[in-house]
Amino acid sequence: MGSTKQLLPAGGGILLERALNAALGSDLDKVILVLGHQAEEIQWVLKQAFQNPKLEAVINSQYKQGISTSIRAGLSKAKNFDHVMILLGDMPHIKSSLINVLLHQYLDSRLPIGAIEVNAKRSHPVIFSRKLYVELERLCGDVGAKSLFEKYSDQLCLVEPEDYYDDRDIDTQKDFREFKDNLED
């Protein structure tokens, strides 16, 4: 990307704020923001969001070792909860209503894993029950929980968004330019 993508300007704030505000505005009981690179600067920029008692930050000092370390860092602060939802801060189109639809349909299903389904494929956000915390803690390297989705494919609650959902993330300058162009429309 060439710069810290969480801090990129996006619609009157920064890119990370879009997903964070959606999470804070949802029915989630707690929001744990996992920060790695430039954590202090991101916290400073988001200082107003930290006034929300629902929000807590955890610093992942091992972020260079991959996404599994961020999952474990977040999970370390969520052990008192029966379920954990993973949202990505570089997916700027997540809305509170999408989070709520996933949360409530997943809880109603009583299955151990839930995910949004877009165009017949699994997407983020995703949610896991406490039954899978030990397996989430065992993840290593730059991998997410794809292996758990494969292992428990028969115990998966896939939820279709009620409205159109653009599940693209921002990984490159081109992605960011396209996102910004669409914001201005």
Q: Considering only CA atoms, which of 94, 82, 81 is closest in space to residue 23? A: 94
Domain membership of residue 183 (yes or no) is: no
Question: Which CA distances in Å does 28 have to 20, 36, 58, 153, 154?
Answer: 12, 23, 17, 25, 25
pLDDT in tens, 65-98: 999 999 999 999 999 999 999 999 999 999 999 9
Which pLDDT band holds residue 59 (cuts at 50, 70, 90)? Answer: very high
Which domain range does residue 49 map to? 5-165
Assess whether pLDDT exceeds 50 at residue 11.
yes
What's the pLDDT at 151? 96
Q: Considering only CA atoms, which of 14, 13, 15 is closest in space to residue 171? A: 15
One DSSP character per residue, 26-59 reads SS-S-EEEEE-TTHHHHHHHTTTGGGSTTEEEEE
Q: Considering only CA atoms, which of 70, 78, 72 is closest in space to residue 54? A: 78
Tell me the average pLDDT across 139-165. Answer: 93
Whole-angstrom Cα distance, residue 18 to residue 72?
23
Assess whether pLDDT exceeds 50 at residue 58.
yes
At position 85, the amino acid (one-letter code) is: M
Angle between helix 15-24 and 96-109 (nearest 10): 50
DSSP E strand boundaries for the chain: 9-10, 13-14, 31-35, 55-59, 83-86, 113-118, 121-129, 156-159
Assess whether pLDDT exceeds 80 at residue 184.
no
Assess whether pLDDT exceeds 80 at residue 107.
yes
What's the pLDDT at 185? 47
**In the chain, how many domains are there?**
1
Domain membership of residue 180 (yes or no) is: no
pLDDT in tens, 160-171: 999 999 998 888
What's the pLDDT at 95? 95
Assess whether pLDDT exceeds 50 at residue 22.
yes
Tell me the average pLDDT across 35-42. Answer: 93
CB 54 within 8 A of CB 29: yes
Omega before 125 within 30 of 0, i.e. cis: yes
Q: For residues 151 and 173, which has the higher predicted lDDT (pLDDT)?
A: 151
Domain membership of residue 25 (yes or no) is: yes
Residue 154 sits in a domain of what CATH number?
A: 3.90.550.10
Task: Kindly state the tokens that stand for 140.
Answer: 């290593």
Assess whether pLDDT exceeds 60 at residue 159.
yes
Provide Rg for the chain, Cα atoms: 16
Q: Considering only CA atoms, which of 115, 95, 96 is closest in space to residue 105? A: 115
Domain membership of residue 83 (yes or no) is: yes
Whole-angstrom Cα distance, residue 144 to residue 112?
16
What's the pLDDT at 8? 81
Q: How are beta strands 121-129 and 83-86 bridged, if at all?
A: antiparallel
Domain membership of residue 182 (yes or no) is: no
Domain membership of residue 172 (yes or no) is: no
Domain membership of residue 118 (yes or no) is: yes
Tell me the average pLDDT across 111-132. Answer: 96
Domain membership of residue 117 (yes or no) is: yes
